[in-house]
């Protein structure tokens, strides 16, 4: 992983130099694709629900230059590793899992009728891996945008995000929702993105200038997130199946109101009942948070973040000792409107909404309290919403 505090201009310059040294020629394009943090709306995406992510100023940089053949020579700077494949017929690598994100993206773009040329490609990232900030989606979106740019092709960004999601499903083997790829492709500076994960309609929601978004990494990687993600997803599907006896028109938990769930929750055994309750109430919290942000009511937005964490901890059971400690430390720190775990859970990061004037004191207090409670050091990122993928050179 590259230096997370290195300025973007220096990272670009360093990547240019690496590319020239490795391939003996200059990169033709350099792409930046951001990671993301989800303000609220956790585990709702694969239930056809609502999410409210922002793109962050941690990103993947990708340099590329076209080749005269159909080969892709791929270099992962941070891993000090390389891969090579035929861009017209990419197959899954059984030995280099990291390369499957690029291979899969190339395959899915061509499945959609996009003709790609061969390329020399090099990439580097300062999005922490395993922290719940969507490092994999940033890699996929950077790869897609780079392949398109070097091949003189264009594609609707929402469709590009769908191609990247399919690549993660089929080549990385992760049944992710659409949120991560979508926000990396379509983020906007100083705004969150309200996304309807059913029909992919979206709108940008300005984040008040008086607040900053603070991401705190617990330092615990999400070892259980993959397997437990699949369990939670199947539990939600089972909840829908059981509720359809009383609500035959529903296709996903998105279609169930809080009142309907209360009326028919007796049809659901635990823990299915609690999983459904989290998703149903979380969808409403997303919409309420949008209303609060648009009204400039940061106190109300913070209350909803806290309620989201409690639901994720108690009903969805995806929190951890460290995540709970980080949220408690945040809520005890100056200027914090609200805080919660973000991402799949079982480790990774929290997200907090903090008053601008209190950020320095907040970060200092958060780090100290977390260390006292867990013996661990927190890595804290103060961020604003960033633009989605694009060319930087």
313 & 222 share domain: yes
Compute φ and ψ for 303, nearest 5 degrees: -60, -40
Residue 239 maps to a domain: yes
**Secondary structure string (H, E, C) spanning 94-117:** CCCHHHHHHHHHHHHHHHCCCCCC
Helix (H, G, I), strand (E, B) or coil at 375: coil
Co-location of 44 and 71 in the same domain:
yes
Domain of residue 366, CATH code = 3.30.70.890
The DSSP call for residue 144 is H
Q: Which domain holds residue 366?
A: 211-383
Sequence-ordered list of residues with C-beta below 8 angstroms from that of 146, at least 6 positions apart, any chain? 29, 31, 62, 64, 119, 121
**Is the same domain home to 322 and 375?**
yes
Residue 21 CB coordination number (10 Å) = 8
Q: Which of 120, 180, 315, 324 is catalytic?
A: 180
**Is residue 174 situated within a structural domain?**
yes
Do 200 and 220 belong together in one domain? no
Residues 296 and 196 in one domain: no
In a domain, 292, yes or no: yes
In a domain, 102, yes or no: yes
Asked whether residue 76 falls in the same domain as residue 163, the answer is yes
Same domain, 264 and 369: yes
3 found inside a domain: no
What is the DSSP secondary structure assignment for residue 265, as one 8-state letter? G
- Helix H or strand E encompassing 214: strand 211-217
Q: Are residues 109 and 219 in the same domain?
A: no
Question: For 314, phi and psi rounded to 5 degrees?
Answer: -95, -40
With a cut of 50, list the residues of the chain below it in pLDDT. 1-3
Torsion angle of alpha carbons 292, 320, 48, 290, nearest 10°?
A: 10
Answer for the pair 126, 85: CB distance below 8 angstroms, yes or no. no
* Cβ contact 216:366 at 8 Å: yes
Q: Is 196 a catalytic residue?
A: no
Instruction: Quote the pLDDT of residue 65.
Output: 98
User: Is residue 134 domain-shared with residue 104, that is, in the same domain?
Assistant: yes
Same domain (yes/no): 320, 333: yes
248: three-class secondary structure by DSSP: coil
Q: CA-CA distance, 367 to 375, in Å (whole number)?
A: 11
| CATH number (domain holding residue 174) | 3.30.230.10
Take residue 256 and report the two structure tokens written for it: 């169930």
User: What is the structure's pLDDT at 223?
Assistant: 62
1 within domain boundaries: no
Say whether both 191 and 241 belong to one domain: no
Q: How many domains is the chain partitioned into structurally? A: 2
Give the separation between CA 216 and CA 74, rounded to whole angstroms.
32
Q: 172 lies in a domain?
A: yes
Residue 314 lies in a domain: yes
Q: How many CB atoms lie within 10 A of CB 170?
A: 15
Q: Are residues 16 and 101 in the same domain?
A: yes
């Amino acid at each position: 992983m590259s230096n997370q505090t290195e300025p973007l201009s220096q990272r670009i310059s360093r990547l240019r130099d690496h590319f020239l040294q490795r391939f003996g020629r200059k990169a033709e394009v350099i792409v930046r694709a951001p990671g993301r943090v989800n303000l609220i709306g956790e585990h709702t995406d694969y239930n056809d629900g609502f999410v409210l992510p922002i793109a962050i100023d941690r990103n993947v940089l990708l340099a590329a230059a076209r080749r005269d053949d159909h080969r892709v020579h791929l270099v992962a700077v941070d891993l000090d590793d390389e891969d090579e494949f035929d861009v017209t017929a990419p197959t899954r690598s059984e030995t280099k899992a990291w390369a499957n994100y690029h291979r899969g993206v190339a395959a899915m773009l061509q499945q959609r009728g996009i003709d790609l040329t061969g390329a020399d490609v090099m990439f580097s990232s300062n999005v922490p891996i395993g922290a719940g900030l969507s490092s994999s989606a940033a890699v996929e979106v950077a790869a897609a945008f780079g392949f398109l740019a070097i091949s003189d092709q264009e594609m609707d960004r929402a469709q590009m995000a769908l191609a990247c999601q399919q690549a993660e499903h089929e080549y990385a083997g992760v049944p992710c929702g659409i949120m991560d790829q979508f926000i990396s492709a379509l983020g906007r500076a100083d705004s969150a993105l309200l996304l309807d994960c059913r029909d992919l309609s979206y709108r940008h929601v300005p984040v008040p200038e008086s607040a900053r978004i603070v991401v705190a990494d617990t330092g615990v990687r999400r070892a259980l997130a993959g397997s437990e993600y699949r369990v939670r997803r199947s539990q939600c599907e089972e909840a829908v199946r059981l509720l359809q006896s009383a609500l035959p028109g529903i296709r996903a938990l998105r279609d169930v109101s809080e009142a309907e769930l209360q009326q028919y929750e007796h049809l659901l055994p635990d823990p299915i009942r609690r999983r459904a309750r989290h998703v149903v109430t979380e969808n409403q919290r997303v919409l309420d948070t949008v209303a609060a942000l648009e009204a400039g009511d940061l106190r109300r937005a913070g209350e909803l973040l806290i309620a989201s964490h409690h639901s994720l901890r108690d009903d969805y059971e995806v929190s951890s000792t460290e995540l709970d400690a980080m949220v408690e430390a945040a809520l005890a720190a100056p200027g914090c409107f609200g805080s919660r775990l973000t991402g799949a859970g079982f480790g990774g990061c929290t997200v907090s909404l903090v008053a601008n004037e209190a950020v320095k004191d907040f970060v200092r207090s958060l780090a100290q309290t977390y260390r006292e409670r867990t013996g661990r050091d927190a890595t804290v990122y103060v961020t604003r919403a960033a633009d989605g993928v694009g060319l930087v050179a």
